[in-house]
Amino acid sequence: MSQFMANWNQTMVTEFLFSVFPPLYEGGLLFFILLLCVYAFIISGNLVIFVAVQLDMALHTPMYFFISVLSFLEIWYTTTTIPKMLSSLVSEKKTISLAGCLMQMYFFHSLGITEGCVLTAMSIDRYIAICYPLRYPTIMTSRLCVQLTAGSCFCGFLLVLPEIAWIATLPFCGSNKIHQIFCDFTPVLSLACTDTSLVVIVDAIHAVEILASFLVIALSYVRIIMVILGMPSAEGRHKAFSTCAAHLAVFLLFFGSVAVMYLRFSATYSVFWDTVIAVTFVILAPFLNPIIYSLRNKEMKDAIGRLFHQKRDGRAQK
């Protein structure tokens, strides 16, 4: 009881301070310019891919449908964190309200889980396309693609809700410094002035989510590689590998960094390495995705070229 009263008498935290961002004139301005350029590229690159898939009839296939969904999600996934990072780099007050922190955690993790589910759906699509090519058009219908996307969004936005609701009930007092570039479960829970042993359950939920998606994708690609290696023609093998290479690269980049961050359980890293890992899946992966999907894919490059060619023709006619 005395411990409860002691906690109650402490000043309750209503906002958190991001402690990892440098002051404006000690590197903050440089990081701001670099991050602003990266964010602009992420938004424009993913937007171009999304628009190209929607407008080009040649890309109206399940594979490109999922790529467009992933690009759309990437825009919002980065928007949940990067604008706040930019403001923290140039502002003297590098804080976020408790409600804002909870909202950022919810949408960041919801969109992240949704992306993981979409990547899983993409691996299933490639598995059916390569292992069962004759049945592919009848299995991967547009209706099934929409259902898989809706299911991914449902899982993403539902699974995180109980965790956020639980964290919202916790009292925060004492230190309000978050040693991370955005609001995340572990840094925020470490500031709660009450028992947070339920975090083990949170870790277990994250582990199941990540491992389930990883297992489905890994098994799909083991089977895909076996089928590709059994193809008689070198041209057929090259074409099959090229259609899967981009997705496999995105999968390894996204799930690799996420696994290092969220499958560590009791292991701890320094603030520096925590920040590096976070930058990898919060900034680097979304930055590389448009490059991987456009430069590694001839059909996508051709569609983007046609999109800009039509815009130039339209301006010339005016």
**Residue pLDDT, tens place only, 115-168:** 989 989 998 998 898 888 899 999 999 999 999 999 999 999 998 898 899 899
Question: What six digits make up the tokens of 104?
Answer: 């950022």
Which residue blocks in the chain are alpha helix, DSSP H? Answer: 2-9, 28-55, 62-79, 82-90, 98-131, 136-139, 142-159, 161-168, 185-189, 199-229, 234-262, 271-279, 285-295, 298-317
Select from 164, 185, 182 the least CA-distant residue to 262: 185
Asked whether the predicted pLDDT for residue 309 surpasses 70, the reply is yes
In the predicted model, what is the mean pLDDT of residues 103-121?
A: 93
Say what the pLDDT of residue 235 is. 74
pLDDT beyond 80 at 9: no
Q: Which two tokens stand for residue 234?
A: 């070198």
Q: What is the pLDDT of residue 295?
A: 64
The pLDDT score that the predictor gives to residue 1 is: 46
Which amino acid does the sequence have at 91? S
The pLDDT value recorded for residue 103 is 96
Confidence at residue 267, expressed as pLDDT on a 0 to 100 scale: 65
In this predicted structure, what is the pLDDT of residue 265? 60
pLDDT of 80 reads 96
pLDDT value at position 11?
Answer: 63
On whether the CB atoms of residues 250 and 294 are closer than 8 A, the answer is no
What per-residue confidence (pLDDT) applies to 2? 46
Long-range contacts formed by 158-162: CB under 8 A, 24+ apart: 159/110, 159/113, 159/205, 159/209, 160/105, 160/106, 160/109, 160/110, 160/113, 161/106
Look at residue 93 in the predicted model and tell me its pLDDT. 86
Residue 42: pLDDT over 60: yes
What is the per-residue pLDDT across 55-90, written as a single tens digit (0 to 9) for each? 888 889 999 999 999 999 999 999 999 999 999 999
- Contact (CB, 8 A) for 10 and 57: no
Instruction: Report whether 225 contacts 207 (CB < 8 A).
Output: no
Q: Which two tokens stand for residue 239?
A: 């074409």
Collect all residues with Cβ–Cβ distance below 8 Å to 166 and sequence separation of at least 6: 198
The pLDDT, as a whole number, for residue 242 is: 73
Instruction: From residue 84, give the alpha-carbon distance in Å to each of 61, 73, 226, 242, 250.
Output: 36, 18, 45, 37, 25
Burial of 226 (0-12, 13-18, 19+ CB in 10 A): exposed
Residue-wise pLDDT for 187-215, tens only, equals 898 888 887 777 777 777 777 877 888 88
Residue 311: pLDDT band (50, 70, 90) is low
Provide the residue type at 200 as one letter: V
